[in-house]
Chains A and B, each alone.
Chain A
Amino acid sequence: MIIPKLALRNILGAGIRTWLNVIVLSFAFVTIIWTQGLYQGMSRQSVRATVDAEYGGGQYWQENYDPLDPLSLEDGHSKIPESLDTLMQNDQATAILVIQGTIYPNGRIQPILIKGIDPKQKILSIPFAALDNEEIELPALIGTRMARSTGLKVGDEITLRWRDVHGTFDARDVQIVQIINTTVPTIDQGQIWVPLEKIQDLVQMPDEASLVIIQKELKIFPEVSGWTFKSQYFLLSDIRELVQSKSAGASILYFILILLAMLAIFDTQVLSIFRRRKEMGTLMSLGMTRLKIIQLFTLEGALHGVLAAIVAALYGIPLLALFAKKGWALPISSDSWGFAFGEKIFPVYSAGLVLGTTALVLIITTIVSFLPTRKIAKLKPTDALRGRMS
Chain B
Amino acid sequence: MDNSYLIETKDLVKTYRMGEHIIMALNKVNLNFRKGEFAGLVGPSGSGKTTLLNIVGSLDSPTEGSAVVMGKKVEELTHKQAAALRNLNIGFIFQTFNLLPVYTVFENVEFPLLLHDLSPEERKKMTMDALEWVGLADRAKSKPAQLSGGQSQRVAVARAVVKKPSIILADEPTANLDAENSHNILQTMEQLNKTLGTTFIFATHDEKVIRYLRRKITLIDGKVTKDEPMTPQRATGAES
Contacts and interface: CB of A to CB of B under 8 A. Distances in A.
Given A13-B102, A385-B94, A288 B79 contact: no
Contacts of A9: 102-103, 107
Is chain A's interface secondary structure helix, strand, loop, or mixed overall? helix
Contact of A382 (B59, B88, B101): B59
Interface string A1-44: 01001100110111000000000000000000000000000000
Given A381-B60, A382-B54, A385-B59, A286 B102 contact: no
Contacts of B86: 284-287
Contact of A287 (B88, B101, B102): B88
Contacts, number: 63
A2 B115 contact: yes
A121 B102 CA distance: 74
Contacts of A13: 101-103
B87 interface: yes
Interface in A265-290: 278-279, 281-282, 284-290
B115 A14 contact: no
A230 interface: no
Interface residues of A, number: 24
30 contacts: A2-B114, A2-B115, A9-B103, A13-B102, A278-B96, A278-B98, A279-B98, A279-B100, A281-B98, A282-B94, A284-B59, A284-B86, A285-B57, A285-B92, A285-B98, A286-B92, A286-B112, A286-B115, A287-B86, A287-B87, A288-B83, A288-B87, A288-B115, A289-B80, A289-B83, A291-B80, A380-B60, A381-B60, A382-B60, A385-B59
Interface in B35-81: 54, 57, 59-60, 79-80
A10 B102 contact: yes
B60 A282 contact: no
Nearest to A387: B96
A381 B111 CA distance: 18
Interface in B92-121: 92, 94, 96, 98, 100-103, 107, 111-112, 114-115
B79 A289 contact: yes
